[in-house]
Amino acid sequence: MHFTDFDTETFLRDYWQKKPLLIRNPWAQWVNPLEPDELAGLACEDDVEARLVSHAEGALTAEDGPIPAERFGELSPDKWTLLVQAVDHFVPDVAALIEPFRFVPNWRIDDVMVSVAADGGGVGAHFDHYDVFLIQGLGRRRWQIGAMCDDSTPLLPHDQLRLIAGFEPLEEWVLEPGDILYVPPGIAHNGVAVGDNCMTYSVGFRAPSRAELIGDFCDDLLDAMSDDDRYGDPGLPQQDNPGEITGAALDGLHAMLLESLSDRAAFARWFGRYNSTPKYPEIDWRPEVPVSAAEIVSALASKVPLLRNPASRFSFIRQDGGAVLLFADGECFECRGETAELAELLCAQTAVLVVDKFIRSAPAVELITSLYNQGSLAFEADD
């Protein structure tokens, strides 16, 4: 699927991370990629993150998955919502919804959450810390947009849901199939199903917090540090008051800290691995039996396209001399020459028909073999 009526340049300039935008059906032809029963089936699986939100006695209740199949037969005819995270990992047609939004870099993309709701169903007024495109798949949903929020915004008491207290809508629209609502981070919003079989596809984006970056990078640095690397003060002058921590001592201690944190090359390697780590690393996508380079060459020679695993995260960082660091599912691969060209191609396209020059390149074949055996790539015939 692709857009035929959407101005990317204007959107990025005027709306991205600035203000909401209602986009009336921009698709060449909208086709809903998943049926409600199929989503319910996914919610029953152990490896799938799901939640059932329903109204009971005037309040919202939430049940975390896996959802027992018999639970769906017990639901009231209205005012419930089923939400399933990362459906793009399991359903290729849902993963295809991400493609029109690739004007945002891959490293910022998170996943596609899918919800189905009965009439009146919703998860309450809330705000997110990330950008989201809300695509109406089936049925109709009324969206209300409120004010900008932050962590000081009053919330209602709830053990599982972050619901805004005193939500006041500023704008309101009813979305039809194919319509899209873009909501920037921090903007309050509330969606309520209008009729049954209301399906919404939420294409979400990642925005690491300063705390996450500092915490995880420091953890990575600590693993490589020696206990012998300590503060020293040769030429220590005598102090008037031994209880003072002098400015010179603070300067030295601060410099020790900043010296480690300021290594940009180390930060780049860490961030590439950190950011490409799968959303659900506990799921094993590796083939049952590892393949050899010879088997990879044979498959490539038969002109079977290579496919990126929808659950995999690919990105790269350019290096001096035309080399690149390729990151895939938390692993780093140093690539040069034709292999660097192949790495960029794998990041740019979800399906790649590998040309002969890569098949004749031993390093390129080695890269493909490694990515295949770690579950990041597969052949179309495997799918």
pLDDT (tens digit per residue) in 278-327: 999 999 999 999 999 999 999 999 999 999 999 999 999 999 999 999 99
pLDDT category at 378 given cuts 50, 70, 90 is: very high
Percent of the chain beyond pLDDT 90? Answer: 89
Residues 73-80 have a mean pLDDT of 91
pLDDT category at 100 given cuts 50, 70, 90 is: very high
Tokens of 313: 């995260």
Q: For residue 97, give the nearest of 132, 52, 64 by alpha carbon.
A: 132
Residues 6+ away with beta carbon under 8 Å from 231: 252, 253, 256
Question: pLDDT at residue 254 above 80?
Answer: yes
Count the Cβ atoms, other than its own, within 10 Å of residue 121.
24
Tokens of 119: 């009439």
CATH 3.40.366.30 spans which residues of the chain?
Answer: 293-382
Q: Say if pTM beats, i.e. exceeds, 0.75.
A: yes
Whole-number pLDDT of residue 313: 96
Question: pLDDT at residue 158 above 90?
Answer: no
Question: pLDDT at residue 1 above 80?
Answer: no
Identify the three-state secondary structure at position 366. Answer: helix
Give, in order, the Cα–Cα distances in Å from 370 to each of 277, 305, 309, 326.
16, 17, 14, 12
Whole-number pLDDT of residue 58: 75
CATH 2.60.120.650 spans which residues of the chain?
Answer: 8-205
Question: pLDDT at residue 68 above 70?
Answer: yes
Whole-number pLDDT of residue 382: 57
The architecture CATH gives domain 8-205: Sandwich (2.60)
Whole-number pLDDT of residue 109: 95
pLDDT (tens digit per residue) in 320-368: 999 999 999 999 999 999 999 999 999 999 999 999 999 999 999 999 9
Taking the C-alpha atoms of residue 177 and residue 199, their distance in angstroms, rounded to an integer, is 9
Percent of the chain beyond pLDDT 70? Answer: 99
pLDDT category at 380 given cuts 50, 70, 90 is: confident
What contacts 24+ positions apart, CB below 8 Å, involve 324-330?
325/268, 325/269, 325/272, 326/367, 327/272, 327/273, 327/275, 327/276, 328/276, 328/371, 328/374, 328/376, 329/276, 329/277, 329/278, 329/374, 329/375, 329/376, 330/273, 330/274, 330/276, 330/277, 330/278, 330/281
CA–centroid distance for 290 within its chain = 28
Domain covering 293-382 in this structure, CATH number: 3.40.366.30
Whole-number pLDDT of residue 55: 86
